[in-house]
Amino acid sequence: MSAVSDRDEDAQDILIRRLQAIDNLTAQDRHLISSLRFDVVDIPPRTDFVREGDRQTKCCLLMDGVVIRSNFTRSGERQIQSVHIPGDVPDLQSLHLRRMDHYIGSVSQCRVAFVAHDQMLRVLRDSPHLTAILWRETLIDAALYRAIIVRNARLGSTERLAHFICEMWCRFDAVGLTDRNGFAFPMTQEMVGQVLGLSIVSVNRSMQILRSDRLVVWDRGRIDILDWTQLAEIAQFDPTFLHLNE
């Protein structure tokens, strides 16, 4: 068995596990997914691999690493719109919205599996059930955006940071990427500022508050949560918005 098809199977497994978490897949669904050809690519850190204005002909399944979706103002400031972790398909929307209105780029070293739109659309044509699941996937993304609008507009800097950490914990945990109380987290404070609409200085000071309150430790690419209850309390964090295990 060639290395390529090994990786194909890896990608299929990841996708199946992800979709399975939303709804049970039928044998036919699985069969359809295993007919997909993936093109697995390693991407170095800090690299935009999808650009604003691009017309996409394929989607990417994130197998390993963290990627961000971002946009820039005229003056060159970056706003990160979403953070994606393994199992996510950050540009699933490009199936029906070909023209990209944002960038997608790696934070850490990433492994990404590309599937041609044609193949995805063929599979979806044959399975209304898979269509519903993937549609739902994009709706959950949208629910996340809505939650971010509220978070960034209504919470103070420390609450905002706490909320982001809660969100990251839940999502990493849902795909089995946590151990004990923590998880590997490759973003810098500056990047988190670009997620939350805060300056790096504010992120730093808010983090110091959470740290001195013994709620969270964030050190050398790793976040550990010391007191989930109180962290979620400060963040006004309601995990249901993630629509994880309905």
Partner DNA sequence: CGACCCTTTGAAAGGAATCAACTTATGTGG
Partner DNA sequence: CCACATAAGTTGATTCCTTTCAAAGGGTCG
Binding partner of residue 200 among a second copy, DNA, none, CB under 5 to 8 Å per kind?
Answer: DNA
In angstroms, give the least distance from the CB of 119 to a second copy. 16
Binding partner of residue 190 among DNA, a second copy, none, CB under 5 to 8 Å per kind?
Answer: DNA
- AA identity, residue 239: P
According to CB under 8 A, which residues from 91 to 110 bind a second copy? 93, 96-97, 99, 101-102
Q: How far apart are CA 221 and CA 187, in angstroms?
A: 7
Question: Using CB under 7 A as the criterion, which residues of the chain lie in contact with DNA when the complex forms?
Answer: 156-157, 188-190, 193, 197-202, 204-205, 207-208, 220
Strand ranges (DSSP E) for the chain?
Answer: 39-43, 48-50, 58-64, 67-72, 78-84, 103-106, 110-116, 182-184, 216-219, 222-225
In angstroms, give the least distance from the CB of 95 to DNA. 33
**CA triplet 58, 167, 147: central angle to 5 degrees?**
80
Binding partner of residue 147 among DNA, a second copy, none, CB under 5 to 8 Å per kind?
Answer: a second copy
Count of all residues that appear for the chain in the document? 246
State the greatest distance between any 2 C-alpha atoms of the chain, in Å, as a whole number: 55
Using CB under 8 A as the binding rule, whether residue 145 contacts a second copy is answered as yes
**Burial of residue 104 (number of CB atoms within 10 Å: 0-12, 13-18, 19+):** buried
Which range, of 39-47, 58-66, 153-161, 170-178, touches a second copy by CB under 8 A?
153-161
Using CB under 8 A as the binding rule, whether residue 55 contacts a second copy is answered as no
* CB nearer to a second copy: pick between 82 and 181: 82
